Chains A and B, each alone.
Chain A
């Protein structure tokens, strides 16, 4: 099927001897939002970090199985390239403190030494800030430090920064857990908007949030993928008892 961007086969992830992701198989559909849910410590972060090979910076991590991105084996690709194709936004906003807003958006270009025309860069800045719903708020302050923004604005700046690399997939690891409800609502709207351009994997603890934004939902428990289905099916008629318990608040 050509609407599958990412295919994970028999994925196992170990920290030392401890296996925290177990025989995970999943296919992620293009231009949809897939929520990754499960109780704390079940391996959500570990799982999505293997997708852009960020796990390689954690010592003693071992990964088995295969991940295929648009028909290419992830392991055989240049990790640098993988991370440009699969962007990531973290739990806590982390704009670069030494850079202004403008430079933060195009940080991927600046830091990688990618040279393109100034006018093209400016266009990217405006485009990505617009997509991140931040342009109107910051267009007059582009040359101020990004760290002066509010938490929610900083997170949208980080989303703009990830978008600027024109990724195929965006991994969001609890992007709103450090934000207040208003900022959260703002980001949720934004995520839904964004699926036109990118495929989104959203790790979230917030069941209501998954309900509001996601098209597909996965439920992980103790490192295993327990259930995977459309949001509608998962929320109305989960097949697995554990999923049901989690969604009704009995576990997690």
Chain B
């Protein structure tokens, strides 16, 4: 029949459309990784020559002397991340538990709303708030104020991830524990939290990755420090601050250090991300 030819054509056209659409998708998704690859290549190209063991273990040199490292900034960043974590992890996990346990009450609604708003507040504003709350009363910049600013930024991520993972745990699991005569609080601590550990840790790691590169909230809190400092009540250097200061300086030596520091920072964040993936896979609990 002559109809046959028609359908055949139609079929071919459909196949072609399918193909075109498929390659179009490939193309666009390829396009979205290009900036990332370019950025990474560029940072490696400019930064790799600055990075060696000394870069990690020595202090910055005065202008004019070549070499020098970023030990103060690495120590500072680790301090800031630690302070932020110590503050945000317990508060965030507890809040996430509360939200999951009281899904319908008014307070939960407001907490959830606040967490969402908090997530969208520009980091510089959080820096200003920390400055008003902590720097002004203390009378000087400090690692503590910077850590708290970063901790506030970490909070929403941890709250959300805790709540979301707890939500996935079947109600029957909680009942199993309660029916064994296990008190409510022990049920939460010993049954629900272990079962959602992978999700919670993932949230924490993502939170750390998010704050490790923050500069704005540190400008008037941690402030930066050209010397090695271990005291939380004194100003402290950090990788992003150092990059900012060195990159905006007029000295070529310092530009090189800024590139090197960028490479270190990016590698740190990258490693965190990869680690997060591995962790999520390995410790995912099946119900």
B-contacting residues of A (Cβ < 8 Å)? 52, 54, 57, 80-84, 87-88, 90, 92, 94-98, 107-108, 110-113, 147, 158, 161-162, 165
Contact = CB atoms under 8 A, between A and B. Distances in A.
A111 B190 contact: yes
A95 B287 CA distance: 8
A112 B181 contact: yes
Given A80-B183, A107-B180, A111-B180, A90 B172 contact: yes
B167 to A, nearest CB: 16
A90 B175 CA distance: 9
A97 B287 contact: yes
Chain B's interface: helix, strand, loop or mixed, by majority?
helix
Contacts of A112: 180-183, 186
Given A112-B186, A147-B286, A94 B180 contact: no
Nearest to A79: B181
Nearest to A84: B181
Contact of A52 (B173, B179, B286, B287): B179
A97 B195 contact: yes
B179 A88 contact: yes
Given A94-B170, A96-B191, A97-B287, A83 B176 contact: no
A95 B194 CA distance: 14
B187 interface: yes
Interface residues of B, number: 22
Nearest to A99: B194
B285 interface: yes
Contacts of B285: 97-98
Nearest to A89: B179
Given A97-B195, A158-B176, A108 B182 contact: yes
Contacts of B179: 52, 54, 83, 87-88, 90, 162
A113 B183 CA distance: 11
Contacts of A165: 180-181
B177 interface: yes
B173 A108 contact: no
Contacts of A110: 190
B178 interface: yes
Given A80-B183, A82-B181, A111-B186, 11 more contacts: A81-B181, A90-B172, A90-B176, A94-B170, A96-B195, A98-B285, A108-B182, A111-B190, A147-B287, A165-B180, A165-B181
A80 B177 CA distance: 11
Nearest to B180: A108
Contact of B175 (A54, A98, A111): A54
A57 B178 contact: yes
A96 B173 contact: yes
Most A CB within 10 A of own CB, among B177, B182, B286, B287: B182
